[in-house]
Amino acid sequence: MFGSRQKSREKLAAAVRTALGAPDWLESVTVGDDGRAILVIRAEGSDTAGAEARRIEAENAASRIAGIEKVTTVLTAEKAAGHGHSHDTPRPTGSKSLQSVASQSIPLTPSPPAGTRRVTKGARLSDEALSQGAPPKASPMKPIPGIARILVVASAKGGVGKSTVSVNLAAAMAKAGMKVGLLDADIYGPSIPTMLGTVNAEPATSPAKKLVPVEAHGLKT
């Protein structure tokens, strides 16, 4: 039964791609057992008008396919893995590259007036004081029973595709036969439930008063 459902979902996902003409801006298509389709669309830099037009086009095309009950679109600016060809127009960016910044000599303080000399004053801390100010060494993490590996996808910047990478990585490992759990630790705006179609799911509670993970697309989340 599970195999037939999976084939049905894959058939619907392929139908969505075909209806859109398999454009390169369509990162992925996922269809759940309830007929809900999740489309991940790549936005090109600051081209918000183009991204919105693609979103509307994708939703309209997918919603006309028999078997698709609801369409959810997710916009991401992360370039897909393996997308190695270059575009004629580079993506605009509001910051300089690390290489260009590193190649410049940026003074930390203004130079002293001509004919004067900068005097630097200071005192060296003792070894004891330095050791007291050092952060404590982290203790090794204790192994968790039943957990073989823990992978962390993180970034100090938002909107770079952390959730997209996490979902695709977890789904690929689950498809390879691994038991995979996916935890979205973003307390401000977790998007994993949206991408997996589990926004309205309510986790159950076990007799031991522990939350039972919600299962979707072969993942426990």
Q: Is the pLDDT of residue 71 over 60?
A: yes
Residues 204-220 have a mean pLDDT of 88
Asked if residues 13 and 29 have their Cβ atoms less than 8 Å apart, the reply is yes
The backbone torsions φ and ψ at residue 181, rounded to the nearest 5 degrees and listed phi first, read -115, 140
Residue 59 CB neighbours (<10 A): 17
Residues in Cβ contact with 180 at an 8 Å cutoff, skipping those fewer than 6 apart: 170, 173, 174, 218, 219, 220
Higher pLDDT, 29 or 117: 29
pLDDT tens digit sequence for 163-203:
889 988 888 888 888 899 998 888 777 788 888 888 888 87
Compute the distance between CA of residue 206 and CA of residue 139 in angstroms, rounded to an integer: 31
Q: Is the pLDDT of residue 70 over 60?
A: yes
Question: Which pLDDT score is estimated for 101?
Answer: 40
Residues 68-72 have a mean pLDDT of 88
Question: Which pLDDT score is estimated for 91?
Answer: 42
Question: Which pLDDT score is estimated for 104?
Answer: 45
Q: Is the pLDDT of residue 106 over 50?
A: no
Residues 74-86 have a mean pLDDT of 57
- Structural domain spans, the chain: 1-77, 147-221
| Mean of per-residue pLDDT scores for the chain | 75
Q: Is the pLDDT of residue 105 over 50?
A: no
- CATH class of the region 1-77: alpha beta
CA 24 to chain centre: 19
Lowest mean pLDDT among 27-36, 101-110, 175-184: 101-110
Q: Which of 69-83, 103-117, 205-219 has the highest mean pLDDT?
A: 205-219
What is the token pair recorded at 74?
A: 């997710």
Higher pLDDT, 95 or 185: 185
Question: Which pLDDT score is estimated for 133?
Answer: 64
Question: Which pLDDT score is estimated for 180?
Answer: 92
